[in-house]
Structure 1
């Protein structure tokens, strides 16, 4: 594997299994901290990047593997793809959240008792899996029908445009009519034009059918419902299956919308003997040159935890090392009280000394440092402004803007579409008016030499865990006894190694046949 040798071994050499591993954001962070990681990832492009980076990988759907396949894994991490959950309203987001909570409660009910029957737990999971599979197959059929209806609507719309032109309507009249098709039943048609009336009636019927199909898809849910349940099932299996040993720690991260799901996860983990913590992390507070929020669930197995413990945030928050970015002014982030009464995180007065926070990291600073490491991959530019591909404030035309001396806005899968213009203008730079893959990766805190490969690299970068953020979370959860100056010193050394990391020999992704003889399988 391609990792930098640590001058000091970590206090515990945990072996990590990373579900939905992506291109390797958590993996490269773990490697510079001295841990070994195996990832499971289905996306072929991400697996190509992982291969070039020397990351140990099983290529495939997480649902086609089981916790029992990797009995020697001691830590479970991952970022399951999640639909948009919301606790507000009664729309698709609310229904998706209610559905996931219902499944989690079913699992919790059978897994909570101390002497829970494993076969009953397994039957409950199999029933949930089969139900989700049926819905997924039906949704596939509904989506195919939806595409057919959309094609018919497009054909019908074109026919109406042609008919309006034949009737001598002006371009503005045609445009206004077609715009009115958003509510076709409200449109008025002259009584003497039966052809146009017939076309509009057919379009209106198709519109009703399309809305019915959309409603049905919302009822069926999203295949990501099953994926977001996978890490929880793996934890339950390792905790309750006879002959299995529970994971020592669990770390999961996703977009902020998943926080309500992490809350339900915490209830189950608490009943399994874990102390848990949930934190909404602002990435710029951890040295990432980017404003991005991530919802992180942390859990650590603790024999002293009370049976059927409460899912309160018993683990302290990961301490921020940098200030929060506030456009137009300095950060005034309030300091949250720590849970110093937690046994694993009890520290001495000397170790708990807090250093002043550093300022957030700008795009300019991050790119300049990377250019010193690899001048051929990071270009020197005049002062610039990044113009986002996305609108702001609900206005698609009001593109977000960030200057070079500020952190980047959130790096998404559309990062390659962001324009770089001369600061204070709308004039594109004469050259290098887009971020390269290497530069976008640096803004996500990947090493500048990270070997981005495969298809849709921008999407890989946008979906990845920022490695610098992963450094902080991994150390906080896996080395709870390391605090204060010692923790900050180790993080500083790891961050330096992360920046200068270079890939070693590529590693070919594995399939199911690769389970035999793998270090985590014990076979």
Structure 2
């Protein structure tokens, strides 16, 4: 696969296996750095995008594969699903997190026990997998019952509405009663006949709350997915006939940082030096404010330092200390923690990123100054939409990015129709995908929102996999990689492989 003309050659012939690969955020970064990368992804639409982009892909559930299928992979990367750690209400996220930390501790005990054999370690993993599978079966049964109760409750609500209408209650009163569905003892005298209906409705609500609590206690099937990368590292390190990965890179939302910290305890037992870091994407040239929890590990060798930020962090409603590259050196902002650090560049605005994209793809919209009005509420108020002006980085790009409104700057007046939403190409650019990235399949906005920002991936991959470069060499390498990323174009589409189609693949050795 060769998409970039005159691409800077990689210092080493590195083969990467990317779990939960998505549409290819990390993959396109690896491509421009010259690494060879293969992704595993279950989503058919993301696989369609990957195929169009020429990204080597196996389609399927990561749990159906194992590390022994890809013995020639030297580096493991991935971003397992994280929704169960960030859900709100009833402490479900906290319970899911505690469960995962407990499973990791069991794996740590297994690999660190004196005289532990592969069979003993594998038995522990099998027991964990069986527990998770049993919980998934129970959760499915509860979901079915929850759906049945929800249907009964909805029917009871319709009956209450119909009874109120038959009594001649005014629409506003009906609306208020349906909104609150107060306890039967609080009903007005004229509506006392509804008491049995309301009591039944409330009783069903109590049952429904119990089922929700049960589901939260059982956890989400995705909870176990966050264990997969660790198990792959353990398998490569302890299974006879396999060699350890040379490096591991994992990323997710900040809520997953405790998992990465717990991972490091196991990785240390397996001989890895590690580093966890909360990374602010705009501080690495991404025109978007987003935080990512990153785990970096190398087998043996020296410690891994933090990835040095190259751009300023964005602080809303404050005066920026941004500087141009022509500012005299003695007035540049220096990193106080690193005496020899380079001066930081300004964060990149939406306006700047989209203007550069238009120089590559002139058909992109050329808008007047605008404000982005988020699809989400802010400050706990669903009606208070977040706002970000064009001359600032975008707010976090989510799967709902296509629903954000674009209005004339400082107003609530929508831009003309062809300008009032970001195009898919523009949304990708705000994630630092090349403007030519070939989005395919359904729900492309969700693909974009779920992806790893490629420019952030450039920094992390180079930092972990090329530690021997000097500061000047690393800076030049990144500058070239960023230019190549912006100019990247897809090559020939590739066929997506399925589980079992190992023949002739460079990572399988078959």
**Given the two structures, how large is their TM-score scaled by the length of structure 1?**
0.91
- State the Cα deviation string for residues 257-313 of structure 1 (Å, max 9, x = none): 1011111111111111111111110000000000011110000111x57xxxxxxxx
- State the Cα deviation string for residues 184-239 of structure 1 (Å, max 9, x = none): 54752357867512211211121111011101101101111110000000000001
Distance 1:230 1:434 in 2: 38
Structure 2 residue corresponding to 1:394, chosen from 380, 386, 395: 380
Aligned to 2:329: none
1:160-179 alignment to 2 at 5 Å? 160-179=160-179
1:305-384 alignment to 2 at 5 Å? 314-328=303-317, 329-330=319-320, 335=335, 337=337, 353-376=340-363, 378-384=364-370
Farther off after superposition, 352-361 or 96-105: 352-361
**Quick check: 1:276–1:315 contact (8 Å CA) kept in 2?**
yes
Aligned to 1:85: 85
1:4-83 alignment to 2 at 5 Å? 4=4, 7-83=7-83
The 3-state SS of whatever aligns with 1:116 is coil
Q: Alpha carbons of 1:504 and 1:187: their partners in 2 closer, same or farther (altered >3 Å)? A: farther
Q: CA deviation at 1:165?
A: 2.3
Distance 1:355 1:241 in 2: 44
**Quick check: 1:3–1:28 contact (8 Å CA) kept in 2?**
no
Q: CA deviation at 1:86?
A: 7.3
Structure 2 residue corresponding to 1:420, chosen from 391, 399, 406: 406
Q: Alpha carbons of 1:15 and 1:5: their partners in 2 closer, same or farther (altered >3 Å)? A: farther
Structure 2 residue corresponding to 1:283, chosen from 281, 284, 303: 281
**Quick check: 1:24–1:50 contact (8 Å CA) kept in 2?**
yes
Structure 1: stretches of 5+ with no match in the other structure = 306-313, 339-351
**Residues matched between the structures, number:** 498
Structure 1 residue corresponding to 2:371, chosen from 364, 375, 385: 385
**Quick check: 1:86–1:97 contact (8 Å CA) kept in 2?**
no
Structure 2 residue corresponding to 1:509, chosen from 489, 492, 496: 496
The 3-state SS of whatever aligns with 1:425 is coil
The 3-state SS of whatever aligns with 1:280 is strand
**Quick check: 1:39–1:56 contact (8 Å CA) kept in 2?**
yes
- State the Cα deviation string for residues 424-451 of structure 1 (Å, max 9, x = none): 1111111321001000000000000000
Distance 1:331 1:148 in 2: 58
Structure 2: stretches of 5+ with no match in the other structure = 323-332
Q: CA deviation at 1:420?
A: 0.6
Distance 1:30 1:398 in 2: 39
Distance 1:200 1:334 in 2: 66
Aligned to 2:448: 461
Distance 1:334 1:22 in 2: 36
Q: CA deviation at 1:135?
A: 0.7
Residues 1:226 and 2:224 aligned together:
yes
Q: Alpha carbons of 1:462 and 1:37: their partners in 2 closer, same or farther (altered >3 Å)? A: same
Q: Alpha carbons of 1:187 and 1:55: their partners in 2 closer, same or farther (altered >3 Å)? A: farther
Distance 1:336 1:232 in 2: 35
Farther off after superposition, 186-195 or 399-408: 186-195
The 3-state SS of whatever aligns with 1:262 is helix
Aligned to 1:342: none
Structure 2 residue corresponding to 1:238, chosen from 233, 236, 257: 236
Q: Alpha carbons of 1:192 and 1:176: their partners in 2 closer, same or farther (altered >3 Å)? A: closer
Structure 2 residue corresponding to 1:258, chosen from 256, 273, 277: 256
Q: Alpha carbons of 1:242 and 1:452: their partners in 2 closer, same or farther (altered >3 Å)? A: same
Structure 1 residue corresponding to 2:246, chosen from 248, 254, 258: 248
**Given the two structures, how large is their TM-score scaled by the length of structure 2?**
0.94
